[in-house]
Amino acid sequence: MVNVLVVDDSAFMRKMLSEMLEKDDNITVVDKARNGKDAIEKVKKHDPDVVTMDVEMPIMSGLEALKQIMSEHPKPVIMVSSVTKIGTETTIKAMEYGAFDFISKPSGSISLDIHKVEADIIEKVLHASTVSVKNLQNHSLLEKKTLPLRVIKQETNVTMRDNKHASRNGISKVVLIGTSTGGPKALQQVLPYLPENFPHPILIVQHMPKGFTKSLSERLNSLSQITVKEAENGEVLKKGVAYIAPGGYHLKVRTIGTSVAVQLDQSPLVNGHRPAVDVLFRSFDSVHIDQFISVILTGMGSDGTKGLVHLKKSKQVIAIAESKTSSVVFGMPRAAIETSLVDEVVNLKEVAATIVKYC
């Protein structure tokens, strides 16, 4: 049985979330809390397996409560956020501080249609109850950032070279990254460690709803030497730029003249997701690029596996997967590894250096 503490300043939301969760026979709501301070006390009292935490609350916010819980009594915490600028920015910070994942309220702080996310929140609570809490805790990224960047830059003189298979627009190779649960924090252990002279475009699918990927890309850009941005339809791929698929849109590529450009669309969900990693991988069929580095990081499910199999049949692909040791959820990396097509399985802290090695 998974014991859950539900935290929200709205009595209505506490009631609705509790009733939704307890529809699953494997979940029991052990208590409810009305603010962050109340949540901290009840975490100590009940020792729940999982906490759902509203982001914006009086007395003590969900973010402040999360920081204290992860420091004093670490638990898997799922943030429940509204799609406002403050809400999305705070949610991205919560991922840094160790939140397992988040749920987006469909229509504001008090969502009468909260039932729309019922299946999603139940699935995430069940997965959260199985994770290793040590993989959620903060690893002081900013304090460690400078040295790895210097080391990788020294390596680039040897490993980064022009490729004779360059496409007509000068793009010789593309890095493809797919991730889901745990991804925002994982990306902060990869992109900031790539050198500013990184010679290839990077296309990223992070499973995230509409409204959150903008804040994620801005945060990653502020931490990184390369440019990180939310992908825009029609923009031409450039070396040393990381493009993150906007929530709610599939990220694909297409040829425009002699260049390769971003194509965004809202075609049907794939693997229950839009954006989907498989869609990105398959979109390179008709593009004049034949060398890739694919990276599958932490996440639930198997998105990216079929795309990797497809890409490996016709392109030259070095496939990297995150190890079980460092993954918040080992679903996506494990599925990729089980194809026997993955070339390197590495801990998260080694992903950036491994990418550079194959550049």
Residue 114 or residue 242, greater confidence:
242
Range with the poorest average pLDDT among 61-75, 78-92, 224-238, 310-324? 78-92
Could you state, in order of their start, the residue ranges of all structural domains in the chain? Answer: 2-135, 143-357
Range with the poorest average pLDDT among 33-37, 163-167, 168-172, 212-216? 163-167
pLDDT at 313: 96
Whole-model pTM: value is 0.90
Range with the poorest average pLDDT among 99-108, 286-295, 306-315? 99-108
Structure confidence by residue, pLDDT tens digits, 234-268: 999 999 999 999 999 999 999 998 899 999 999 99
**Interatomic CA distance for residues 133 and 141, integer angstroms:** 17
The overall longest dimension of the chain from CA atoms, in Å, is 64
Sorting pLDDT into bands at 50, 70 and 90, what band is 16?
very high
pLDDT at 152: 44
Whole-number percent of the chain with pLDDT over 90: 81
Active-site residue flag, 71: no
Mean pLDDT of 53-57: 93
Fold held by 143-357: Rossmann fold (3.40.50)
**Interatomic CA distance for residues 155 and 30, integer angstroms:** 52
Handedness of CA 344, 345, 349, 351 (dihedral sign): positive
Active-site residue flag, 265: no
SS (H, E, C) 88-134: HHHHHHHHHCCCCEEEECCCCCCCCCHHHHHHHHHHHHHHHCCCCHH
Fold held by 2-135: Rossmann fold (3.40.50)
The chain-wide mean pLDDT, for the chain, equals: 90
Domain 2-135 and domain 143-357, same fold? Reply is yes
**284: Cα within 13 Å, side-chain hemisphere:** 29
Catalytic residue among 127, 207, 250, 273: 207
For residue 151, pLDDT beyond 50: no
Whole-number percent of the chain with pLDDT over 70: 89
Sorting pLDDT into bands at 50, 70 and 90, what band is 106?
confident
The candidate with the shortest Cα–Cα distance to 116, out of 87, 83, 90, 93, is 83
Sorting pLDDT into bands at 50, 70 and 90, what band is 112?
low
For residue 158, pLDDT beyond 60: no
3-state secondary structure of 316: strand
Interacting residues of 72 by C-beta distance below 8 A, sequence separation 6+ = 40
**Cβ-based burial of 140 (10 A; exposed 0-12, middle 13-18, buried ≥19):** exposed
Mean pLDDT of 331-345: 98
Active-site residue flag, 303: yes
Catalytic residue among 81, 180, 283, 294: 180
Catalytic residue among 303, 323, 326, 327: 303
pLDDT at 154: 43
pLDDT at 111: 65
Residue 169 or residue 23, greater confidence:
23
Interacting residues of 218 by C-beta distance below 8 A, sequence separation 6+ = none
For residue 89, pLDDT beyond 70: yes
Mean pLDDT of 85-89: 85
Check: CB of residue 333 under 8 Å from CB of residue 327.
yes
pLDDT at 260: 96
* Tokens coding 218: 């801005």
- Report strand pairing: 259-265 vs 250-256: antiparallel
Q: How far is CA 263 from CA 73, 135, 206, in A?
A: 44, 34, 16
* Tokens coding 294: 């694919």
pLDDT at 104: 87
**Interatomic CA distance for residues 324 and 298, integer angstroms:** 9
The candidate with the shortest Cα–Cα distance to 11, out of 30, 27, 32, 38, is 32
